[in-house]
Amino acid sequence: MRLRYIYALLIAMVLSAPIEAQVYLDSAEVARVLSGKDSVLLSGDDEATIEDDNGDDEGYNSYFQNDSCLTWQQNIKARLDGILQGNLMETTQVGVMVWDLTDDKRLYSYRERVQMRPASTMKCVTAIAALDRLGSDYSFQTRIYYTGSVDDSTQVLNGDIYCVGGMDPLIGGTDITAIAESIRQLNIRTINGNFYADRSFKDKDELGWGWCWDDKNPSLNPLLVNKRDNFISLLRERLHNMGVTHYGIVGERTVPNNARLITTRLHSIEEVMRPMMKKSDNLFAESMFYQIAAAGGGKWSTAKQAASYIKGLIRKVGLTPSNYNIADGSGLSLYNYVSPELEVQLLRYAFQNRNIYDILLKTLPIAGIDGTLRRRMRGTPAAGNVRAKTGTVMGVSSLAGYLTASNQHRLCFSIIVNGGMSNGPMRRLQNSICVALSK
């Protein structure tokens, strides 16, 4: 009773203040205190640490009411101001930006220009840049060539087979079988020559710049099968099972200009982007990153070439490229530094370009339904509404994407938290902001 009496006095004091000051009052929060309901304000002590984006049981009250005395934008500000007063703010670095895409204006911001490590929301940057440069019809290609000639009378290929990797992370056993069948259809029973892997699609770096050696890092090899470096051995095995004998060695060499194409295996940019975003697959993101680099032409493409294109896109959306550091495509690197403002402006740019937005939106995880958001925000207005990319590495949690507000305005947002020692409180902060924007 005493606590409620004190809050009643506080309400009276606030109501007597000028109207401008009342904008910062979240009346729903005060009403909740007076009614004895749990507060939505978050602290770092709320729940046990949750280490996996794929599992986050909700343990907070995310019900928000509108104050009829405030405009919609003022209500949003009051809610988010309240959320950003928790204990977490004292021990971490937080940046938030929300953009009203319908009215094309800033809706809310809090330290939105602070450069921070994004973790896997870096994949949003990569996805938007890839769709911008490569287009929605782009396909990842793995090509198979041969040199020499086929003696039809003896069914012998007197020449070599070249497997040219295009860093397609979707290449699997069915692709290898199809390639083997294409070789067999050339009336070949014997290969009297060598198998060569052509890995000139990208540089020879197998790890990204700024990756931790003890992380679970993907292999940056442009010729993989099911993420493993056994493309040629698996192809030779398939050919053997089809009755094709190989006499020769296995090595690495760039395909010569006079080689003839046998077959090309293709996967669309949307097919690759879906697991990259839904499952936050790092190999798929790095493959996308190197497609951006290779689009400039030539061989042995580098991460710096991809970063250079992204810097140009940053300039295109009206920001200063030198304020940011782009180290990789997945967000694994310790050297990535972006800001909520940058992520929001890129999401805004994507929204304004349907050839980017239509694919991007389909590949983002949906709150409470699928991907890395399937267990988050369930049973709230954000479930089924928020489509966003999660980000998690040690000390970093982030969320960036789109949602529709209660007034049917389309919004994009970015929330980055650095310095947290457990993921749970950082994610609950993000969840609460998304619920507040959705209600």
Where do the structural domains in the chain lie, given as residue ranges?
72-136+272-438, 139-269
- CA gap 433, 405 in Å, rounded: 12
Residue 258 CB neighbour total at 10 angstroms: 8
pLDDT attached to residue 241 = 98
Reported as a single tens digit per residue, the pLDDT across 79-125 is: 999 999 989 999 999 999 999 999 999 999 999 999 999 999 999 99
Residue linked to tokens 């790095």: 286
Beta bridge partner(s), residue 33 = none
User: What tokens appear for 256 in the block?
Assistant: 């010569």
> Which CATH superfamily hosts domain 139-269?
D-Ala-D-Ala carboxypeptidase C, peptidase S13 (3.50.80.20)
User: Which residues make Cβ contacts (< 8 Å) with residue 272, sequence separation at least 6?
Assistant: 140, 168, 169, 170, 284, 287, 288
| Percent share of the chain, pLDDT over 90 | 82
User: Which residues make Cβ contacts (< 8 Å) with residue 356, sequence separation at least 6?
Assistant: 128, 131, 132, 136, 349, 350
Residue 6 CB neighbour total at 10 angstroms: 11
pLDDT attached to residue 44 = 29
Characterize the bridge pairing of strands 105-110 and 195-198. unpaired
**Residues 166/143, Cβ–Cβ less than 8 Å:** yes
Reported as a single tens digit per residue, the pLDDT across 25-84 is: 333 333 333 333 333 333 322 222 233 454 444 444 444 666 778 899 999 999 999 999
* Ramachandran assignment for 248, one of left (phi > 0), alpha (psi -120 to 50 degrees), beta (any other): left
CATH number for domain 72-136+272-438, candidates 1.10.3720.10, 3.40.50.300, 3.30.2290.10, 3.40.710.10: 3.40.710.10
Reported as a single tens digit per residue, the pLDDT across 304-358 is: 999 999 999 999 999 999 999 999 999 999 999 999 999 999 999 999 999 999 9
Task: Give phi and psi for 95, each to the nearest 5.
Answer: -130, 135
Q: Is 72-136+272-438's fold the same as 139-269's?
A: no
User: What tokens appear for 156 in the block?
Assistant: 């012998």
- What global pTM score does this model have? 0.86
